[in-house]
Structure 1
């Protein structure tokens, strides 16, 4: 355990040093134009999924909608502050060490919470694996045609869940520590098949999304989650182990 901790720390520091160094050394930064492929407006939490608020008969007037996701009715009371959110958002807050988003007071309990299993939670997530809409498919093909880097392609299909956008540091770490010449040759082949329609985006996910991470990959994603998903790092890694079971087409 001590050896692993020391190893983890040394690799972590190595990544940080490398990222800082790369920030100064690259003459041409090819990782500055990272644009979304998935459109959250194309597929919201309520599409093909029931409202998990306890009272589904309430009229969904604007003042009754969850002020966080604007998808479910307010049904769960956060204590001790008394603010109210929808059941999906309450489940998300309960999975991390999160303060009340309205008053920043520590959350001690959730009243009327209907707990979702990992499967139910992911099914209602806008980040679930699903077939891209026509607009999103065109976005993906346009990105590839306009020079999507091999590092971004690997980040999206090997390591990140749907709608999670890679950042510059993650792509630099993939370039410095992960990607090989063989990977680049293979990715070029996959890009061609996606453009021709021979394979779909979900095919790439099914065959390449990594569920088992080596130490370097784990640290790389740990840094990414620390930057963007800090309260949910444990959940993010847990979901990776069964993410491909959540395929809704």
Structure 2
């Protein structure tokens, strides 16, 4: 065997490769896979047994009701079916509303709004209003108003804040009232109510007041 001083990094690497290539160092892949499957089986077995008992108990319960009172059995079955349909419909509608919200508001995040600045946001809001996307228009005006307040006080911008968190941030500021009005108009859409031209014009007037207060400098 070579002396320790004769071992170079390259020879050490070759020696390690030779050792790892020996048969007793080879990992049996199927052994690892079998062990993993066995572990998963042990983890899922109690759950499977619980579900089996629960489903079996429900089947026996409804079977007893059917034998004792068929009318009550069908009444319960129809009621549960209607409840399931209503639950599924609610899930679908909620998902569609969340998807629509993401599509409409995802076009401009708070971080993107900060990069564009309030002037460009106002321009985008007017364009959205012309396209009759009044919710997006009001969202852009709200963002522009917040950015103007942040710029007025030279405060660090917080892109992770929600609308309500911004309202709390300026709750002692005279600009809180118009800012809250804009947020309230947006809440109509979140509640499933339509936002039309009238709501947008109301929000645009409120934003004008907010912009004036933001330009006045300082808190009242």
Output the TM-score relative to the length of structure 2: 0.24
* Greater fraction of residues in strand: 1
Higher relative contact order structure (alpha carbons within 8 Å, sequence separation ≥ 6):
1
Rg comparison, structure with higher value? 2
Output the TM-score relative to the length of structure 1: 0.22
